[in-house]
Amino acid sequence: MNPTGNLIDGRALAEQIHRETAAEITALATRGVQPGLAFVRVGDDPASQVYVGMKERQCARLGVRSQTHVLPAATSEAELLALIARLNDEPAFHGILVQAPLPAHLNSARVYAAVSPAKDVDGFHPVNMGKLMLGDPSGFVPCTPAGVHELLLRSGVALAGADVVVLGRGNIVGKPLAALLLQKAPQADATVTVCHSRTRDLAAHCRRADILVAAMGVAEFVKADMVKPGAVVVDVGVNRVPDPAAKSGYRLVGDVDFAGVQPRAGLITPNPGGVGPMTIAMLLRNTVRAARLLTG
Ligand code: GUN
């Protein structure tokens, strides 16, 4: 096989979605609506600064109004909840994104439950998570799982009856992705296994997978001998590993040993350039949908 012929180009797929979103933004403009997205970042987690910066730039490029609130790491939960309450009532902003992770003294569950479900473009509110679990399409689906799903669909990967193994059971990726692919729906219907740090013989589960999604946050964990030949491999991980040769002193690697796994995979996401751009594309799509629903 051509060694580069099995790459899923997440950037190109994300651009496709951005073009669709841009057309919706144009349609909203004809009735005087500009979608708005408010970002909230607490503390100075360097990765969060980078992620929010990338999301802001895409907003600017597509013509989504954005505003970023940066709060000190010592912000109290009451202060953060007060800001969220203000944003819930602010008509110019249709989406609210509180960047995770939050400092440890803040209760994430209470914070995400405070965002109005109608503006919860992250899909983290219990109402939206519940709707996802129930297969009710009226809610918002978290952006990374939605991005992985869309990336599989647009790559022509058959999901019905496929054995999908998701590595990682986090609330942001693993759990909602499992719910999404498991749905009784023409574009889902997969058989989903979720593996985690306590799973017995995890490699054996992986080797059965037609589609293997790595989202547990362990650098280069998935090795070639854990992958069935021809399987679709999706790498959600973003891990910093020390690298004395890099100017920053570190480099970013995924959860998949890309060099080892690529020759064995049927299709594989590069990292970067796979899931990351899709996550941002789904965020903007959710924001435009929120704007349409809130102003319709
Ligand atoms: N941190 C990592 N992924 C995400 C995401 O999709 N949304 C937010 N708010 N924080 C994150």
Q: Which residue has the tokens 């999901």?
A: 159
Q: Is the pLDDT of residue 4 over 90?
A: no
Domain count within the chain: 2
pLDDT at 192: 98
CATH code of 151's domain? 3.40.50.720
Q: What is the mean pLDDT of the chain?
A: 97
**Which mutation among 55, 172, 255 tests ligand 1's pocket best, with the greatest number of atoms within 8 A of CB?**
172
| pTM for this prediction | 0.97
pLDDT at 3: 47
Tell me what the mean pLDDT of segment 216-227 comes to: 98
Tell me what the mean pLDDT of segment 99-123 comes to: 98
Which residues have any ligand 1 atom within 6 Å of their CB?
Answer: 97-100, 122, 143-144, 172, 279
Q: Is the pLDDT of residue 266 over 50?
A: yes
Q: Are 255 and 214 in contact (CB under 8 A)?
A: yes
Q: Do 88 and 149 belong to one domain?
A: no
Q: Which residue has the tokens 């012929």?
A: 5
* pLDDT tens by residue, 162-221: 999 999 999 999 999 999 999 999 999 999 999 999 999 999 999 999 999 999 999 999
Q: Do 99 and 148 belong to one domain?
A: no
Q: Are 153 and 125 in contact (CB under 8 A)?
A: no
Residue 194 lies in a domain: yes
Q: Do 149 and 271 belong to one domain?
A: yes
Residue 106 lies in a domain: yes
Q: How far does the centroid of ligand 1 lie from the alpha carbon of residue 239, in Å?
A: 15
Of ligand 1's listed atoms, the one at least distance from the Cα of 143 is: 6
pLDDT at 147: 98
Contacts of 213 (CB under 8 A, 6+ apart): 148, 164, 165, 166, 167, 177, 234, 236
The tokens describing 288, both together, are: 């435009």
Q: Is the pLDDT of residue 1 over 60?
A: no
DSSP letters for 216-272: S--TT-B-GGGS-TT-EEEE---EEEE-TTSTTSEEEE-SB-HHHHGGG-SEE--SS
Q: Is the pLDDT of residue 77 over 90?
A: yes
Residue 296 lies in a domain: no
Q: Is the pLDDT of residue 248 over 80?
A: yes
Portion of the chain with pLDDT greater than 70, in percent = 99
Nearest CA to ligand 1 atom 11: 100
Q: Do 98 and 150 belong to one domain?
A: no
pLDDT at 139: 98
Of ligand 1's listed atoms, the one at least distance from the Cα of 122 is: 7
CATH code of 92's domain? 3.40.50.10860
Q: Do 62 and 153 belong to one domain?
A: no
pLDDT at 2: 47
**Which mutation among 69, 99, 102 tests ligand 1's pocket best, with the greatest number of atoms within 8 A of CB?**
99
Q: How far does the centroid of ligand 1 lie from the alpha carbon of residue 176, in Å?
A: 13
Residue 18 lies in a domain: no
Residue 291 lies in a domain: no
Q: Do 159 and 233 belong to one domain?
A: yes
Q: Do 152 and 101 belong to one domain?
A: no
Q: Do 148 and 269 belong to one domain?
A: yes
Q: Which domain holds residue 101?
A: 32-116
User: Which residue numbers are catalytic?
Assistant: 55, 99, 122
Q: How far does the centroid of ligand 1 lie from the alpha carbon of residue 173, in Å?
A: 9
Single out the residue of 187, 155, 149 nearest to residue 265, CA to CA: 155
